[in-house]
Structure 1
Amino acid sequence: MKLSPNFWLSEFTDSDTAERLGIDNTLPAELMAEARQTAAFMEQIRAHLSGVKEDDVPIDALSGYRCLALNRALKSDDGSDHRRMQAIDFIAPTFGSPLEICRALAPVVDRLGIGQLIYEHTWVHVSRRPQVKAFNRILTLAKAGGYLPGIVEAKA
C-alpha cells in the first residue's frame, strides 16, 4: 500500500529480524493514520536532503513500525516511538553518510517537525514525537553505550 509519493507501507513494516524469528510485524489498523503522517514527515526530510544535494535523494527506510515482540527482540525500550509508528531509521546513500545526513538535518529540526534526531553511526533515527526534555532532541549514540548531546563524530 502506497502511503505517499515515495513511501510504501511495506518499507515501514518489513523486517529481516521479524522474518527470521517468525514474528508477525503487521501494522495494526489503528496505527494507519500514524503511518501516513510518518510518510508525509519522511517526504519533507527527503525534499530537504534533495534540496541540499540539488538532486533527488531516495531514502532507504531500515526500520519503521515494530510490534512489541520485534521491539523486544531488538532489545529496544518498550516505549520506543517505533512502536507507535512515529519513528524511522534510515539511510540515504546518494546524499552521503549518516553523519552527513544528521549534519544537514540538525539545523532544521524545527522546520521539518523532527522531534528527535539520533546519529546511530550506520543509520539515522528520526522521530516525529516532541521530546519532553530538550537535551534528548539531537543525540549521538555513544560507542561505550548511552547517548551524547548533539551530533558528534566518532574519534578514531
Structure 2
Amino acid sequence: MKLTPHFTLAEMTASNTARRLGLDNTPTAEALANLQRTAEMLERIRAHLGGKAIIVTSGYRGRQVNQAVGGATSSDHMSGQAADIQVPSYGTPYDVAKALAPYIDALGIGQVIYEVHGNSHWVHVSTRVPAKQLNRVITIAVGKGSFLGVQHV
C-alpha cells in the first residue's frame, strides 16, 4: 500500500527484529493515520534535499518491537510519528540533519535528532513537536550524552 508517491506502508513498518523474533508489527488504525502524516513529512524532506531517495531504517514499531530494539518507552515510533532515515546520495546523516535543522517549521518537522551509536549514524525525524522547544533539534550520542543542535561528536 502506497502512503505517498515515494513511501509505502511496507517500508514504514519493516523490521528485521520483528521478523527474527516473530513479532507482529501491524500498526493500529491511529498509528496508520500517523504514518500517513509521517510519509507526507518525508516527501517534503525528500523535495528539500533535491529529490534524493530517502532510506527509512526504522519507521513504525509496535510496543513489543520497540522493547526488543531497546527503544525509549515513549518513542514516537510506537505511534507512527517518527522515522529514522539516511540519504546517502545527499550526504552523511550529519549533513542531512544540518540541512533540515533550519527548515523544521517550513517542512512540518516536529523534531530532528542526529543519532550516533558507535559507527552507526542516522537522522530521527518526527511529526510530534516536543514539549520543550529546545529539544526540537538535538544530537544524541550513546555513551556521550545529548547536545542541543546538530553537533559533531
TM class by smaller structure: over 0.9
Distance 1:82 1:19, change over 3 A: same
Partner Cα separation in structure 2 for residue 145 and residue 10 of structure 1: 34
Which of 74, 80, 83 is matched with 1:79 structurally? Answer: 74
Partner Cα separation in structure 2 for residue 69 and residue 101 of structure 1: 30
Root-mean-square deviation over aligned CA pairs? 1.1
Partner Cα separation in structure 2 for residue 30 and residue 105 of structure 1: 27
1:150 corresponds in structure 2 to 149
Partner Cα separation in structure 1 for residue 104 and residue 15 of structure 2: 27
1:109 maps to 2:104: yes
% identical aligned pairs = 47
Range with greater deviation from structure 2 (124-133 or 27-36): 27-36
TM-score by length of 2: 0.93
1:53 corresponds in structure 2 to none
Which protein has the bigger strand share?
A: 2
2:85 corresponds in structure 1 to 90
Residue 136 of structure 1 and its aligned partner are, at CA, apart by 1.2
Runs of 4+ in 1 over 3 A off after TM superposition: none
SS in 1 for 2:2: coil
Question: What 5-or-longer segments of structure 2 have no aligned partner?
Answer: none
Question: What 5-or-longer segments of structure 1 have no aligned partner?
Answer: 51-55
1:69 maps to 2:58: no
2:124 corresponds in structure 1 to 125
Distance 1:132 1:25, change over 3 A: same
SS in 1 for 2:49: helix
Partner Cα separation in structure 1 for residue 23 and residue 129 of structure 2: 29
SS in 2 for 1:120: strand
Query: Do the aligned partners of 2:30 and 2:79 also contact (CA within 8 Å) in 1?
Result: no
2:95 corresponds in structure 1 to 100
2:31 corresponds in structure 1 to 31
Distance 1:131 1:25, change over 3 A: same
Q: Deviations over 1:82-127 (max 9, x none)?
A: 0110000010110000000011001101111111101013110000
Q: Deviations over 1:14-72 (max 9, x none)?
A: 1011111111111123322111111111100000011xxxxx30001011100000111
